[in-house]
Amino acid sequence: MAGVTPLMVKELREKTGAGIMDCKRALQECEGDVDKAVEHLRKKGLAAAAKRAGRSTKEGLIHSYIHMGGKIGVLIEVNCETDFVARTREFQELAHLLAMQVAAASPLYVKKEDVPSEVLERERSIYREQALEQGKPEKVIDRIIEGKLHKFYQEVCLLDQPFIKEPEKSVSQLLAEYIAKLGENIQVKRFVRFQLGGE
């Protein structure tokens, strides 16, 4: 189709890691607009990731990362469906990025569902007290609590955190991009972060 050049396809591939034909189709659908095509491919990637979410992840690797001259260390287990994907450069790159994220942003949990209910209840009651002290009307307090919980999740849950290298993207969006790229379900199973002199 006129308007879509090999150079545009190359640029889109570099930005998204998608296949040549997918890039070509996205550019055709977005009338040659590279930024729109990036967004289009991201959405498709997220949809593909959602489809793969139920698939079993029994392979993967444990990646270690030492930061700041040996003052912070991270061990992270990232799972995928096959040993073949676990050995790819892209999968290892993802494990490294995730370990760096844990080192830099100190999450406490992998995902929202891992936060213990008593922790959530404590946070909710703190936010309620704060809202009441500020004289907020009862009818908006629940909305305020939900907004603060959203921020809380972004601080303590790895998948909800803004990705350190591209803060406009969450870690779960980064994960979805690699799921789309590698064609397998990928999950972060667990991590541990050590800080010199920590508890």
Residues with Cβ < 8 Å from 21, sequence gap 6 or more?
A: none
User: 116-155 adopts what CATH topology?
Assistant: GTP Cyclohydrolase I; Chain A, domain 1 (1.10.286)
The yes-or-no answer to whether 59-110+157-195 and 116-155 have a common fold is no
Contact yes or no for 12/27 (Cβ under 8 A): yes
Q: What is the pLDDT of residues 59-83, one digit of tens each?
A: 999 999 998 789 999 999 999 999 9
CATH number of 59-110+157-195: 3.30.479.20
One-letter amino acid at 34 equals V
Distance CA 91, CA 93 (A): 5
* CATH superfamily placement of domain 6-52: Ubiquitin-associated (UBA) domain (1.10.8.10)
Ordered by start, the domain boundaries in the chain are: 6-52, 59-110+157-195, 116-155
- Is the pLDDT at 53 greater than 90, yes or no? no
Query: For 8-17, 31-40, 107-116, 167-176, which range has the lowest pLDDT when averaged over its residues?
Result: 8-17
Mean pLDDT of the chain: 88
Percentage of the chain exceeding pLDDT 90: 57
Contact yes or no for 127/134 (Cβ under 8 A): no
pLDDT value, residue 46: 56
Q: Residue 61 forms beta bridges with which residues?
A: 78
Query: For 51-60, 104-113, 151-160, 184-193, which range has the lowest pLDDT when averaged over its residues?
Result: 51-60
Q: Residue 51 forms beta bridges with which residues?
A: none
The residue that leads in pLDDT, 75 or 43, is 75
